[in-house]
Structure 1
Amino acid sequence: MTETDRTDSYSTSQKRSDALWEKIRTDPSGLRMLTGDRPTGALHIGHYFGSLRNRVRLQDAGVESWVIVADYQVITDREILGDIQGSVRELLTDYLAAGIDPERSTIFTHSAVPALNQLMLPFLSLVTQPELERNPTVKAELQAAGKTAMGGLMLTYPVHQAADILFCHGNLVPVGKDQLPHIEQTRVIARRFNERYAGGEAYFPEPDALLSEAPTILGLDGSAKMSKSLGNTVMLRMSPEETLKKIKKAKTDSERLITYDPENRPEVANLLMLSSLCSDRTPEEIAEEIGDKGAGTLKIMTAELINEHLAPLRARRAELEKDPGYLFSVLRAGNERANAVADETLAHVREVMGMVY
């Protein structure tokens, strides 16, 4: 795909996304969202402002919500697994503390839904090796993991993601721009399945990407994004004192006058954006208020606003941590619902493929 093709594809996705946002505002009926995370530990404010807060917004708007804890995806690029159960517990705690409601959202894990994973086999028959190798997101994941040889699970990662989305007939997937190739691959798999196996019946929907309205949150060291491995994050579970300590170490620049200039002053702009996301003011208004008081004042204000904004979440999180049994009961209930839907989907897939004996 050329750069022009990628630009055109993004433009088309943006138009569809804008239309979806309008439908969500007016009538969310018929929309089914599938989203989730790899359980690699507790979440940070990059996750929160980039996606988690938005998921709660969609849930509260009445969009049917499915949230996958993608535990099998931990092994796509990692040779040392660590404490997966502990990481799942941390992820669940952050989900519920942020406002994901298990009465309105189904939270489940890859490994507990066999029928979902079995969809991988017919779906793999619908894609070619070159198509998978061309996926830019897979290449980026491989590079981020510091690997040169691609494992089989990494290569087929987009197909596994298609199974995640389609098993529950998800038609709405909140993503960033970098995840658009995965959604396009899922659309292709749905279309080919319907044509090849379902006799032209639109059994699987061709899901749309819902592009995030939130800006990219830089790492506190100025890198492209927050990463736990780089230690450039503010974790949701941190205390106010820990948050202040982290923000005080954030990279800025030597200019004393604070201005909002994302292109020329990205680190300062990042702190201003974080302050804006935690308040009802624009980054420009906050910059004007600080004026020539310097980066130190900006950092203190940012930490105070983050702490104030996250206080209810952190209080709820502290309560949830006391009852891990409840957390896993939520997951078991979600797994039960997911299995019922996945079994029904797989049964229909077997039927249209002539594999009912």
Structure 2
Amino acid sequence: MTATLTGTAAAPTPAPGTAATPAPATAAAPVPPGALPEDPTRHRVLTGDRPTGPLHLGHYFGTLRNRVRLQDAGVDTYLVIADYQVLTDRDVADNLSGHVENLLLDYLAAGIDPARTTVFAHSAVPALNQLLLPFLSLISIAELQRNPTVKDEIAHSRQASVSGLMFTYPAHQAADILFCKADLVPVGQDQLPHLEATRTIARRFNERYGPVFPEPQALLSEAPLLLGTDAGKMSKSRGNSIALGATADETARLLRRATTDADRTITYDPDNRPGVSGLLLLASLCLGRTPEDLAAEIGDGGAARLKQLVTEAVNDHFASLRARRAELARDRAYLAEVLRAGNARAAAVADATLDEVRHAMGMRYA
């Protein structure tokens, strides 16, 4: 996200005028799931993760491989390690440096190329965070309170009480996206309200101070919903996930205790057999075959045969990634240099954007 987009990325939409009461946001049509934008080199993407624990197989199939696909297609990609945002829904950021390093390992092992993707830590870019103040002046408390994503975060918060950071989260996320003038943001359907808040802030800034920011579009994810080993949603916090960096033996152990059912005939029926179907889906993603085809192959082999097939599929598919990850983990100096260089690139972009914002607001005094 920068003051001047790399290449010829989408220009800000001019919206002249200084209306006291801005019009409501108009949702942009998202880019369909799985589609690449026309002329990828003209676009910039911002995406990222909070460093709260190791990435798992759901993250890989849900977001990581798509980020690599966008990068390889020529999209100018910014990948934020959102360390400040760890405090959004918890009182303390535990083992933050370790989680940041593990996130970086997962990114690089999965195929993120730091020469083509800017990987940076949120807290290392001061100018990005300075955008939060003018952005908060452009959105009302009522709009922040009724944001459905904020409501959901509050419901699942680990904090003793809800902090101010929780309510400002949509504005902070807008700063993450707009500091580099990203015009595309990969999101799931449930994250669209956050992106609409960003679009609202961008449009209101442009109306009040002049055209500076694009109104980013959603790049909808086609991510499959992978279930965890307990047949619930795969999640770092639920202890039901398989980490990208897990060993083959750890993977086998976790899959042996995965929830299935008593029916020996294996069928793909997500509504009625979520445990069995979740395992079939995981194997299908690794093998490039349909879950129905795999179910027919296993037939009456039961849960034991199913788990054996899934374990072999996962371990084979991720063997090279895990080998790269282990090799990278032995070179901590390289990891530090990747993050240092990414932080410097992101900071230069944020400084330029903040200077442009100050100029538009009449706050550049020297």
Give the alignment's TM-score, normalised by structure 1. Answer: 0.92
Uncovered stretches (5+) of structure 2, i.e. residues with no partner: 1-24
Deviates more, 1:73-82 or 1:295-304: 73-82
Q: 1:196 aligns with which of 200, 208, 211?
A: 208
Contact (CA 8 Å) 2:90, 2:158: kept in 1 or not? no
Aligned equivalents of 1:147 and 1:185: distance in 2?
24
Number of the residue aligned with 1:209: 218
Aligned equivalents of 2:254 and 2:237: distance in 1?
15
Contact (CA 8 Å) 1:260, 1:272: kept in 2 or not? yes
Whether 2:114 is the aligned partner of 1:102: answer yes
Structure scoring higher RCO (CA < 8 A, sep ≥ 6) equals 2
Aligned equivalents of 1:72 and 1:102: distance in 2?
22
SS at match of 2:93: coil
Contact (CA 8 Å) 2:79, 2:117: kept in 1 or not? yes
Aligned equivalents of 2:207 and 2:362: distance in 1?
15
Aligned equivalents of 2:198 and 2:92: distance in 1?
29
SS at match of 1:309: helix
Contact (CA 8 Å) 2:184, 2:217: kept in 1 or not? yes
Q: 1:220 aligns with which of 203, 207, 229?
A: 229
Whether 2:263 is the aligned partner of 1:275: answer no
Aligned-residue offset at 1:228 = 2.3
Q: Counterparts in 2 of 1:229-308, with a 5 A limit?
A: 229-308=237-316
**Identity rate of aligned residues, in percent?**
61
CA change 1:211–1:148 in 2 (3 A) is: farther
SS at match of 1:17: coil
Whether 2:355 is the aligned partner of 1:347: answer yes
Aligned-residue offset at 1:23 = 4.7
Dislocated runs of 4+, deviation >6 Å: none
Contact (CA 8 Å) 1:42, 1:235: kept in 2 or not? yes
Aligned-residue offset at 1:145 = 2.1
| 1:46-71 CA-partner distances (Å, limit 9, x unpaired) | 11111111111111111110000000
Number of the residue aligned with 2:17: none
Aligned equivalents of 1:100 and 1:110: distance in 2?
18
Q: Which has the higher helix share?
A: 1
Number of the residue aligned with 1:112: 124
Contact (CA 8 Å) 1:142, 1:148: kept in 2 or not? no
Contact (CA 8 Å) 2:90, 2:159: kept in 1 or not? no
Contact (CA 8 Å) 2:54, 2:244: kept in 1 or not? yes
Aligned-residue offset at 1:263 = 1.6
SS at match of 1:16: coil
Uncovered stretches (5+) of structure 1, i.e. residues with no partner: 1-8
Aligned equivalents of 2:325 and 2:34: distance in 1?
30
SS at match of 1:206: coil
Aligned-residue offset at 1:129 = 0.5
